[in-house]
Structures are given as structure tokens and as C-alpha cells.
Chain A
Amino acid sequence: MKTFATLINALDSTNKTNLKLEALMHFLAEAEEGDKMWLLALFTGKRPKRNVNTALMRQWAMEIAGIPEWLFLESYSSVGDLGETISLILPAPEQYTERSLSEWMQQIATLGKATEAEKKTFVTEAWRSLTHTERFIFNKLLGGSFRLGVSAQTLINALARYYNMEANAVTHSIMGDWQMGTVTFDELVQGAYTDTQLSKPYPFCLAYPLEKEPEELGPVQDWQVEYKWDGIRGQLIRRNDEVFIWSRGEELITEQFPEIKAALLQWPVNVVLDGELLVFKDGQVLNFSALQQRLNRKNISAKMLQELPVVCFVYDLLELDGKDLRSLPIKERRSMLEALLRQYPGGPLMLCHTIAAADWEVLKSIRQESRSVNSEGLMLKHKDSPYHTGRKKGDWWKWKIDPYTIDAVLIYAQKGSGRRSAYYTDYTFAVRKGDELVSIAKAYSGLTDKEIQEVNRYINQHAIEKFGPVRTVKPELVFEIAFEGISFSNRHKSGVALRFPRIARWRKDKTAAEIDDIEEIKKMIR
């Protein structure tokens, strides 16, 4: 496991993408075939299921280290990762056993049939014979939940560079339904089992946020105006009886949307479409939280397909019958798209409507009301614009509505996990309810590292309750919390749930007496 441990160490110890790439290339050159396959398998979700219960691992580790459970939990809350906590509290290894990653994985895979005593012997034996880093990796492998500190995209880029291929082709070739042991690494990556040309997506054309007055854009009639939908942007490809759906993150998400795939397969033409995937029910777009329930599932049940049906609001046509249309102005692409969708009506592929307005004033009021249709503002696309590669200023603008904001006070803090485990980065905020405080939201992001350190100092000095992972903080620090939506909820003490809450800024100028009252906040709900 030495080569793999070196890779993990290298990936951990830098946040420079270039160095991560270097480390991966080094691994690809050094590691044996089986280990490389496992690296891919771990990345593409092909890992053995958890065969050893974490509660047992915890128990064994506490036994060996001779520490009580509360102390284990304190350690866990400080480290932020169970596998690492175990590796740190155990005594130093007694001997060293070198086994390759694939040997370990094979042994782990067979544990399913083992008795509890056999599992204990295997696991504790491994702990005794691995270095600290390898012990940590071993624990993560046992859990089947290993995150390698590198994005899928970086791995794909490394593979692409190593094999001198295009990144999209690699993405496609490693996504397939391959089985460990039936393919070779080289052939798999190089697309022996797939025709990667078929799935090749175009780079998405991206819009800039509009930061000036819309009047400066010239006459409103020059612009194609659409609602800006809060779903998942997808590029839908149908070529030679195969369908591929790419997300903006260059991930293949075809299998997550079987209804879209099925509908597109029935079209008799080859096309590449750009659109927004949304949950659409009873003639209405549901908000993002509905879509979220559909994402990253292994199986999508019939019930789910019925309760949360997904459609694609198509807004662009990039390729028709193998012809790249991207250089045409959008007004022409649009009329071709409209004709196409008129031919195949009724399915989950729907035309994204445009909004006609006499002047900018009318558009402004439509934008103000865009929340009423669960949209987050407007898109402005110049009618003469081609489909640009990436982001180009001037032709496409996103004109989002301002988020909601409230002022709230920090009441609880908890250390983050992973990279953030050294700091209190997970905050809970409260607003007033008469003379009391009620918690309203948790937020993680939005502060600079420097501000996080400053807040940490405050927490360390003003924590009321100091035991366990959560710190109760003297309610003094006021933050402006921004969010995208608000609804009633019985799951929260405050009676409301916020969508996508984040810290907009630290209101050092305000005191806890000036925070918002829950009754006022409830009035935001429409």
C-alpha cells in the first residue's frame, strides 16, 4: 500500500492542482495494474460494501487504546474523522506488512462472510502492522467511503494527460458498467469498451452576472429573455441511438434522469440540446429542494419518478443531424429548436419559454416577481449571439433577484470536518422571538479564513458550555444571513426553513439587540 499511501500523502499536502496532477501521474507510472484499477473503482463508486460495522471498530480501538468512550468521542470531535481518530489513538505499530492496495481490497471484500471474531482478528492485526497513514487509509477503505482529497475532474485530467487523450473521452470511458477483473486498466481508460466520440459534449456557454443597469444594454427588443431556472444545467446528447446527459461539472448524469433519457431515445433525430433539468408537477416548477431528492441515488424508484417527475426546459440547440450549429445567432437556433419541439410535443422535453416585454421597466417588475414561479431571476441573451465556448462578457447575462437577508446572532459553533476540523466553522444562528432566541439556520460558508480565525478566538474566549463538540456561545456576534427561499417547517424550532442560507457578512456594527424578529421574518413567506 506504500505507493497508494504516498499518493494520498501528496494529494493531502497541497492544494495546488498542478502538484496533485503530478502526484497522480507519478502513481499511474509507479503503481501496479490492480492498484490503478482500485483507484478508479474507489472514484467511480465501485467499491465493496461496508463489511465491518463502525461501532465495532470504535469498540476495538477503545479496547486496545484503553480509553473510555467519552474520551474517544472528544478525540473524534477534535479530529473530525472516525478512521483517522482510530489510527491516532492506537499504539505505534509493532511490525510492518507490505501488501498492495488490491490485496487489501480483496481481503476486505471477503470479510462479508466472516464471523465477528474473524473480523476483529483481521482488523486489529492490520492495525498492528501498518504505519499511521496506512492505518488511516485502511480504515477508510473498510468503510467504503474514501474521499481522496482530489476532484474527479483532476483525476480525469491526470488520466487524460497520462494517456494523451481528451478529458471528456476519459470521463465517458471510465463511467461505464465495467467490472473489476474483466478489463485492463489501459484498455478501459483508452475507451476499448466505449465510443467516446459519441458522448463528446460541447463546452457550456456561460453568462456573466449583470452588474449594471439593464438600460445600458440597448433596446430590450435585441434580447431574448428567459426565466433563470434554479435546477441543474444539462447538455443532452442523442447520437446514434445513444443518450448522454452531461452536467456543467462535466459529469455524466444520464442515469439519474431515466425519463429524459427514454424520451430522447424516442426522437428519430440526432441532437445536442442545452437546458435546465427541473422537477415539474401539475404545471409548476418545484423548487430546488424537490430536485435534490432525486440526485445521487443508486436506484430511482417508480414512486419517485411519479412523485418528483423531472423535465428539461430546453433553451438551446447546439447540434442537429451531426451539424454543429453553435456559430449561428441564437435567434436562428431558437426557431430551429421551436420547430423541433413542435414535432415531438408532450414529453418531458419542453421548450423554455421566452418573455416578451415592451421595455426594461416591464422586465424589471417581472424579475421582481420571478420567485412566484420558483425562478431566480432572468436570463438575457443577445439575439445575435453565437453559442460561445465558456464565458464571454457581453452576449449573455444572468440577472438574478437579490437574495433575502436577515440579521441573526451566533449561538452555537462546532468544528468542521476534514480540512476545517481545526476550526469552529459550522455555525448556528438565532433570531428573536419576543424576549427569547430561536435558532433559524446553520451556515458554513461565506467568511474569509481570517474572519474564521477571529470568530474562533471569540468562541474560545466566550464559550458558555465547553464540553462535547458543540460550543454554546454568548450571543453577541451578529451576521447578515442571505438565503434564496423560505418556507414554513415544523422541523425547526423557529417554524421556518431557509433555502441555501449562507453568511453574507459579519455585521460588526450591530449588536444582538438589533437582530430580526421571527414574526417579521415569517412575513417573507408567500
Chain B
Amino acid sequence: MTIGQKRRGRSLPLHVVLVAVGAVMGVPLLYAVFSGFKSTDQLSRNPIGLPDPWVSSNYTGILGSGDFWRMLGNSTLIAVGTTVLVVAVSALAAFSFARFAFRGREALFTLFTMGLMFPFAVAVLPLFLLLRSMDLLDNPLGVILPQAAFGLPMTIVILRGFFREIPAELEEAATLDGCGPFGFFWRILLPMARPALGTVSVLAVVGSWNNFLLPLLVFSQPDWWTIPVGVQQFQGQYSSDTARVFAYLVLAMVPALAFYSVAERQLVGGLTAGATKG
């Protein structure tokens, strides 16, 4: 018996386990996709089988209405705004933490890392009161600013770790060439840190994209609803039209899954880096 045969024989049970777990993970998603291609009537008669006939009106109806696209636009705008803000502000702070020795640095850094403990759901009540008094309700800044603020700790921790690894000789060389601290940061550090910036940006986008509670509270008007808020409202509105809700869920999943398939490496790298350095 060769090693190859032995390995194949041993790996068969492993494959059985993987297929079983894979089915549990994948079937809910496929079920939603197929259910979206049925009418609600057909769904109750034929809950498990393939659609017969295939009905595409659920999907086309949603894609044909402006609501879905508007929410997609809102989610995109808010995600981009949050990401640009949190990455810019964190990069400055992380640069100072990584490359300067100054009095109060450790205390300040501890303050930011304690922010990892401030959960959104817990702070949301006083935050809402604050946004109300600042007149930021029904304003995208009312979601962008707090999301960026709550994203700071994780982003700073990751970027600081990365900035520290850039050799000090580079900074000395830049200083000799007449570069000030900001010039070094802007012209040398940031271009070198592009992979790390990509990682934290991807994390910020995903966090913003999936945030539910804050946009739910801040936006009382449908004009600014983001996808998670819209999905919940849609389900409330069409709860009896099950097939249509499934179609809506599937369409709402597509952007996130597409983004994941493009940015998988940054995302996984960022999550593991954030967890081990945080």
C-alpha cells in the first residue's frame, strides 16, 4: 500500500464531515436564492424543491424599483465616508504613537485601547442624545462621525503595529534630506503602508456596511436608509409575501459577498491581526 492510497483512505471520513458541515452552512443561503425564484404561493406548496416554474419577478421587481438602489447608494456613501475619515485620523495618531517618544504616550494609547471595550449598542443611547442636541439626526454625518470614532481604537492599534516595523534609517535619511515629520509621514510612510491601509479600510467598510442600530436610530426618513435598515423595514412591510422577502435578502447579501470575494485576503488578514494585536 502506497502512502498516497493510505492518505486517500484516511481522508474519506474527513471529506464526509466537510460536506456535511458545508451543507449546513450553504443550504440556508441556497434556500434563500431558490425561494426568491418562486412565488409565495409556490413556496408554500413546494418549499424544498427547485422552483417550477422559475419566477424572476421578485428579483426584477426589487431591482426595478428605485428604493433598493437608493439604499445601496446610501450604504456606499456612508461606508466610504466612514472609511476615509477613520483611516486618515487613525493614520495620523498611529504615526505619532509609533514614531515619537513623548510624555503621556502610553496613557493616551491605553485610553484608545480601552475604547475597544466601548460597545456600540451600549453607547448608543447617550450617543443618540448627543447627536440630537448637535442636530445631526437625519444627516449622514450623524452615522459617519460616530462610526469613525468607534472605529478608531482597532484602526490605530493595527496601524501602529505596522508603522513600527518601518526601519528607523528611513526616517533618518528623510530628515537628512530635509523632510519634516509630516513630509516623512505623507511622502514615505503612507505609500509604504499601503497594504496595512488596505486592510484597515476593508475592515471599516464591512463594519459600516453591516451597522444597523445607529442608522436605524439616526434616520427616521426612508431617504437615508441603509441596506440593513431597509431589509428590516421591507420584511415588516411584506412579511406575508415570503418569497419576495427572500429575494430581497439575497439581493442585499450580494454586495457584501462580492466585496468579500474581492478583498478576502485583506479582510482575513486584518481580522486576525486585529485580534492578536488588540
On whether the two chains bind one another, the answer is no
Q: Which residues of chain B have a CB within 8 Å of any CB of chain A?
A: none
Q: Which residues of chain A have a CB within 8 Å of any CB of chain B?
A: none
